[in-house]
Amino acid sequence: MARMIALVPAAGTGSRFGAPSPKQYLQLNGKPLMWHTLAALAATPGVDEVAVVISPQDEWFDDFDWDLPKLSVHRVGGSCRAESVANGLGALACEAEDWVLVHDAARCCVPVAAVERLIAALAGHEVGGLLALPVPDTVKRADADGQVAVTVPRKGLWLAQTPQMFRAGLLAKALLGMAAEDITDEASAIERLGLKPLLVEGDAQNFKVTYPRDLALARAILAAREER
């Protein structure tokens, strides 16, 4: 039977965040930010393994007792996200038919229910798919001077989230031989093969912690869940 493997690329330095340690290791409600991410994936029924990909030069991971079921660690991170994912796939002993759910380390508030929704929606699907949200706001494209060049009709536009779920064999093929720096998510690599990933309704709580100002919201969401 096909296994369900959550793969978390966590080899980034978080340069936009500007903290001394990568953002995935910042303290959030008493634990590293990424602990919350890994815990949500481990708590998802149906996920067999949670594989985290860190940099070979990582100095922070071993400082914490992660104490999570299903967790495996792979020190094979690459120079960009796509390379970290491809290296992770290589390090995992998975079959081509196994499902891989690639999830950003910095999406630490991902609700278990959203991951379950993705898994359920893709059962038997030919290609795979991703969590995403319809764009709620009016969208503007800027010119070089920061002025509005054009208003882009938002109908049919979605914001891609993670997990992005594909068969291991298809994903490895899609990532192979691509200009990896151009690939900011797995779905776009699959699209370049001429395939159409399924969009599955995500969750506003599943945002990516990108800037220091995002931490307050993440803290509040996680604290509210603990109080329940």
> 10 Å Cβ neighbour count for 116?
14
Site string for ligand C5P, 14-53 (x = CB under 6 A): ----------x----------------------------x
d(CA 95, CA 69): 22
Instruction: Give the shortest CB-76-to-ligand C5P separation in angstroms.
Output: 10
Q: Tell me if 78 contacts ligand C5P by CB under 6 A.
A: yes
* Helical H segments across 52-178, by residue range: 81-91, 112-122, 168-175
Instruction: Please pick, from the candidates 41, 86, 101, 104, the single residue that binds ligand C5P as defined by CB under 6 A.
Output: 104
Q: Which of 115, 114, 112, 108 is nearest to 37 (CA)?
A: 108
What x/- string results for residues 201 through 220 when contact with ligand C5P is judged by CB under 6 A?
A: -------x------------
Nearest residue (CB) to ligand C5P, 61 versus 158? 61
Rule CB under 6 A: say whether 108 interacts with ligand C5P.
no
Q: What share of the chain is helix, strand, coil (3-state, %, to 5)?
A: 30, 25, 45
Considering the rule CB under 6 A, would residue 80 count as an interface residue with ligand C5P? yes
CB 163 within 8 A of CB 118: yes
In this structure, how many other beta carbons lie within 10 angstroms of the beta carbon of residue 186? 29
Interface with ligand C5P includes 12 (CB under 6 A)? yes
Q: Which residues bind ligand C5P (CB under 6 A)?
A: 9-12, 24, 53, 77-81, 84, 104-106, 208
